[in-house]
Amino acid sequence: MTSDPGLRQRKKMRTRQALIESALRLFAEKGYDQTTVAEIAATADIATRTFFSYFDSKDDIVFFDDRSRLERAVEIIGERQPGEPVADLLRRVIDQSVFADTDSELARKVGPARTRLIASVPALQARELHLLFDIQLQLTEALHLACPELDLVEAAAAVGSLVGAIKVVVAACQKRGNRPEQTYKAVQRATDIAIDGLNSLPRPA
């Protein structure tokens, strides 16, 4: 299955790669809205029409490595040791898929720039949230399978609560311009709060 790329596949991959690199470079240079699909295609030496057989939409290209991140996450969940607490399992998932550079060097290369790009373009924010949402649904299924003691609702709540806490905390940090250091600490705190529950929050003085 993972054996023969074949000329066809190799060529497709190269084209795909070229499109991704062209797009991200142009977005960085001229901004997302100022870059047209036609330009991206031209820069990668591809017909405009063909762009859409590689990516469903202009914004999709920014999230080229989402699929592999998801696959990694599902894999981790599938390898759960029977009896391992759900909280521990999900902690590992967060660390090793969300905050790891899953998809080759390219992901690491564009990492921070991409983050800034997404934060600054509403259309990309929306796309990201939508993708993340789909991912959560799939994680829910995987978790439900790997943890027979959880019904579907419990699995969904677990995933939603953890991811939701982290996502909002990260956004709040970015909004106030925190350093990555601070943001990372905040993510840890968010994780703990999701795991220990809202009742673990400080009480009024």
Partner DNA sequence: TGTAATTTTGCATTCATTGACGTTTTGCAT
Partner DNA sequence: ATGCAAAACGTCAATGAATGCAAAATTACA
The residue ranges that bind a second copy (CB under 8 A) are 82-87, 90, 122, 125-127, 129-130, 133, 136-137, 140, 147-150, 152-169, 171-173, 175-176, 186, 189-190, 193-205
Nearer to a second copy, 72 or 91 (CB): 91
HSE, side-chain direction, 13 A CA sphere, residue 177: 0
Nearer to DNA, 89 or 131 (CB): 131
The angle subtended at Cα 39 by Cα 33 and Cα 45, nearest 5°, is: 150
Applying CB under 7 A, among 17, 21, 25, 37 the residue interacting with DNA is: 37
Q: Is 7 in the site for DNA (CB under 7 A)?
A: yes
Q: Is 53 in the site for DNA (CB under 7 A)?
A: yes
Its sign, for the CA torsion 44, 50, 55, 59, is positive
DSSP for 167-191, please give it. HHHHHHHHHTT--HHHHHHHHHHHH
Element housing 47 (H / E) = none
The interface partner of residue 49, options being DNA, a second copy, none and the CB cut-off 5 to 8 Å by kind, is DNA
Q: Is 50 in the site for DNA (CB under 7 A)?
A: yes
- For 22, residues 6+ apart whose C-beta sits below 8 A from its C-beta are 40, 43, 44
Q: How far is the CB of 169 from a second copy (least distance, A)?
A: 4
Judged by the rule CB under 7 A, the positions of this chain that interact with DNA are: 6-9, 11-12, 15, 35-38, 45-50, 52-54, 56-59
